[in-house]
Amino acid sequence: MNGVLELSAVRKVYPPPTAVTALDGIDLVVGAGETVAITGASGAGKSTLLSILGTLERPTSGTVRVAGAEVSALSDAALSEVRATRLGFVFQQFFLLDRLSVLDNVATGLIYRGVPPRVRRERAVEALYEVGLAGRIGHRAGQLSGGERQRVAIARAIAGRPAVLLADEPTGNLDSATGAEITTLLSGLAGDATTVVLITHNTEVAAAMRRQVHLRDGRIVSDTSVDTGEVSR
Ligand SMILES: Nc1ncnc2c1ncn2[C@@H]1O[C@H](COP(=O)(O)OP(=O)(O)OP(=O)(O)O)[C@@H](O)[C@H]1O
């Protein structure tokens, strides 16, 4: 099966003195348009896996293909290019520039893609419509509620039309009602052109994704999908 994300026999061992084996033989294929929750107890390897999917870390061994690119074959500069053009990131802490407008927070994310200023603004407006924030375009980011701030961060991530949206505990700083809205928004963004992968401790967030991959001690111990049924390992 061809996937937008393909991991084969991936191990990640952090260097001494800890020499922790964070991932211990991960085989995972994620197809275009899937929504995937990666779950597991603290220390199970979720963040490490997300960093590898996001090309922020390289595996110690095994192969990783992201949007068709074989990570081990690419230089750091080429990997940055993959990150900038094929991946979008959303974090628990939002990471907005509070003094900038909502529009500028989203548009500036496109500078690294070499998009001209006028197109940056058009794409940013489109993305803000998509996340339901058209009414807040001129506000400063610092004036927004937590849920609105996360919507801006999601707009920034999708404005570049990434193949994969990677989210790290995206509802972690939100109350449960707002978190549920953000979860619905994220799963609704998935489609033929966009795949959503998030890590979470929250069982309701995980259940809202069509596939759940559960890690224990750096291994996948269950992989459940409403589309294809359960594959336990
Ligand atoms: N930079 C690092 N150097 C050494 N060990 C690390 C490093 N980062 C993570 N680890 C170890 O790797 C293992 C997996 O960590 P990871 O952060 O991926 O787990 P996690 O499932 O995301 O946990 P949490 O839910 O607490 O964020 C843990 O034992 C952790 O201590």
Range of the domain at 62: 5-97+163-232
Residue carrying structure tokens 């963040």:
47
Q: Is the CB of 45 under 6 A from ligand 1?
A: yes
Number of domains in the chain: 1
Residue 226's pLDDT band, with cuts at 50, 70 and 90, is confident
Is the Cβ–Cβ distance between 35 and 165 less than 8 Å? no
The distance from CA 117 to its chain's CA centroid, rounded to whole angstroms, is 25
Single-letter residue type at 26? I
117-138 mean pLDDT = 95
Q: Is the CB of 200 under 6 A from ligand 1?
A: no
Q: What is the CATH number of the domain that holds 61?
A: 3.40.50.300
Residue 17 lies inside a defined structural domain of this protein = yes
Q: In a mutational test of the pocket of ligand 1, which residue from 46, 50, 202 has the highest number of ligand atoms less than 8 Å from its CB?
A: 46
Ligand 1 centre from 100 Cα, in Å? 33
Residue 77 lies inside a defined structural domain of this protein = yes
Q: Is the CB of 47 under 6 A from ligand 1?
A: yes
Q: Crossing angle, helix 176-189 and helix 146-159, to 10 degrees? A: 10
**What are 27-72's pLDDT values in tens digits?**
999 999 999 999 999 999 999 999 999 999 999 999 999 999 999 8
Residue 194 lies inside a defined structural domain of this protein = yes
Its ipTM equals 0.96
Ligand 1 centre from 45 Cα, in Å? 6
Residue 1 has pLDDT above 60, yes or no: no
Q: Report the nearest atom of ligand 1 relative to the CA of 40.
A: 21
Q: Is the dihedral of CA 59, 96, 101, 139 positive or negative?
A: positive
pLDDT of residue 111: 85
Residue 138 lies inside a defined structural domain of this protein = no
Ligand 1 centre from 113 Cα, in Å? 31
The distance from CA 120 to its chain's CA centroid, rounded to whole angstroms, is 21
CA distance 194 to 34: 8
The distance from CA 159 to its chain's CA centroid, rounded to whole angstroms, is 14
Q: Is the CB of 44 under 6 A from ligand 1?
A: yes
pLDDT of residue 209: 97
Q: How many CB atoms lie within 10 A of CB 154?
A: 27
191-211 mean pLDDT = 95
Residue 215's pLDDT band, with cuts at 50, 70 and 90, is very high
Which of 30, 68, 34, 51 has its CA nearest to residue 195? 34
CA distance 216 to 137: 42
Q: Is the CB of 18 under 6 A from ligand 1?
A: yes
Residue 157 lies inside a defined structural domain of this protein = no
Residue 147 lies inside a defined structural domain of this protein = no
